[in-house]
Chain A
Amino acid sequence: MNRVWVEIDNLHKYFGKNEVLKGINMSIQRQDVVCLLGPSGAGKSTLLRCINRLEEPTSGHVYIDGEEITGHGVDLNYMRSEIGMVFQSFNLFPHLNALENCTLALTKVRKMRKKEAEQRARDMLRQVGLENKAGSKPKELSGGQQQRVAIARALSMNPKLMLFDEPTSALDPELIGEVLDTMIDLAEKGMTMIVVTHEMGFARKAATRVSVLDHGLILEDNTPDKVFDAPEHPRTKEFLSKIL
């Protein structure tokens, strides 16, 4: 059951002369919930976005379930459709309602028939607790609801892997809980997740692994208990003391 789901091999990323990722190596198992932590500018979001090539790695390889997404001649659109991504600013399509946001990729990429797509979309909206908001446009929803629709949208594609880029950073405090609950629920159902977040509570509770990044390198990569209670690297201790 435990296969290597995501393999990151010697990943480097330069923005101009600035080296943001200095050789990342990671192996993520199926059903792992990995939290990427670290100070601002550490490269967490960049690393996440390299996994589905929203950022192009400068060198190195990324493998998703055995297939190299960074390879030549790879069907990038297809591989992306198997990876779900949730953004800090939700990025819901404002001209479409919640249901349509979910069915768009199903009908255009998976070529599903409309009825099937809508059924699947409703199931996903139900899973995030927003079935009754299927007809609402994003501007009619609260921030927390919008993010949950964004999660449903990504889930509709039945992805192998879900990437979360600071999913609650843009939310008012009282709305963060509902999104985190949805994510915990997802983790319990066995989804492989990689989450960039500052929510330590979530990391402790739901993560199977915590990776701490700083200046483009992984400092620690261990279970939450070990990282939070017995960090090894001095900079990790420094970072944790500032936020805990």
Chain B
Amino acid sequence: MNFHDLFYYFFNFKFFIITLPDLLRGLVVTVEIAALSLSFGFVLGLVLAVIRVTIKHAGSSSFLRILNFPLVIYVDVLRAIPPLVTLVVVYYALPFINITIPRFWAAVLTFVIILSAFAEEIFRATIEAIDRGQVEAARSLGLSYLQSMAYVVIPQALKIALPPLTSRMIAVTKDVSLASVIGVADLLKKARAAQSLYANPTPLFSAALLFTILFLPLVRLSMYIEKKLAE
């Protein structure tokens, strides 16, 4: 394998150009899934965390108590099982009990619930870390429990949650390429298809390049945020 071969096989400019439009279409799909998954996963995680914290402080009388056990199961299971397994179960197993979801949305659903499980744990820890005095001051001013949560506790918790949360969100975004395994036409699927078509792995390297361009700034950004907030 000489230098010339290297360029012919892996970095073939001609193939790069030919496949680029198709790859970019795939990239759009990747970004779509990522955007949907991140936003809904984030919100769901926050809601679940607030519910769990409320259950803890609501006392044994509240009907919310029965929700605690299922929530713990939900969070632990989704964090333990590999994302690809969850994805395959959602897309291939659910139809057998009459729940058929189109692949794009199966992917989105999977990543939403996975992120929500991780986010719930992070938010719950940060909310509980907020000094009780903050809640007392807010309640003593007449703010309701929900108002205290919304205007005093959660804004502070979000700041602390940001570093671990951003790195987890990046991890989930990278996992989005797993959607190609169930046939979603994302960047990786397009790359593999092009690779088969042209019997040349350049599209795969092109895809790797695009992924790197997409993710490198995000990784750097999250490291920056971590450092900044550590002050």
Contact = CB atoms under 8 A, between A and B. Distances in A.
A149 B179 CA distance: 54
A104 interface: yes
B142 A81 contact: yes
Contacts of B144: 77
A95 B140 CA distance: 18
B141 A81 contact: yes
Nearest to B137: A91
A4 interface: no
B215 interface: no
B136 A93 contact: no
A177 to B, nearest CB: 24
Interface stretch (B18-26, B36-44, B151-159, B206-214): B151-159
A54 B136 contact: yes
B56 interface: no
Interface string B127-151: 0000101101111111110010001
B142 A77 contact: yes
A83 interface: yes
A162 B131 CA distance: 23
Contacts of A54: 136, 139-140
B140 A80 contact: yes
Given A95-B155, A108-B147, A109-B147, A157 B136 contact: no
For chain A, which range describes its interface: under 10, 10 to 19, 20 to 34, or 35 or more residues?
20 to 34
A92 B144 CA distance: 17
A154 B159 CA distance: 26
Contacts of B140: 52, 54, 80, 83-85, 154
A157 B134 contact: no
Contacts of A94: 156
Given A78-B142, A84-B140, A85-B141, 16 more contacts: A54-B136, A77-B142, A77-B144, A80-B141, A83-B140, A85-B140, A89-B133, A91-B134, A93-B152, A93-B156, A95-B155, A105-B141, A105-B143, A154-B140, A154-B141, A157-B142
Secondary structure dominating the interface of B: helix
Interface string A131-163: 000000000000000000010011001000000
11 contacts: A77-B142, A81-B142, A82-B142, A87-B133, A89-B133, A91-B131, A94-B156, A95-B155, A104-B141, A109-B147, A154-B141
B143 A85 contact: no
Contacts of B134: 91, 93
Nearest to A75: B142
A77 B144 CA distance: 6
B139 A80 contact: yes
Nearest to B139: A80
B143 A109 contact: yes
A23 B131 CA distance: 31
Interface in A43-84: 52, 54, 77-78, 80-84
Contacts of B151: 104, 108
A143 to B, nearest CB: 15
A108 B139 CA distance: 12
B123 to A, nearest CB: 16
Contacts of B139: 54, 77, 80
Nearest to B142: A81
Nearest to A52: B140
A54 B132 CA distance: 11
Given A95-B156, A108-B151, A85 B137 contact: yes
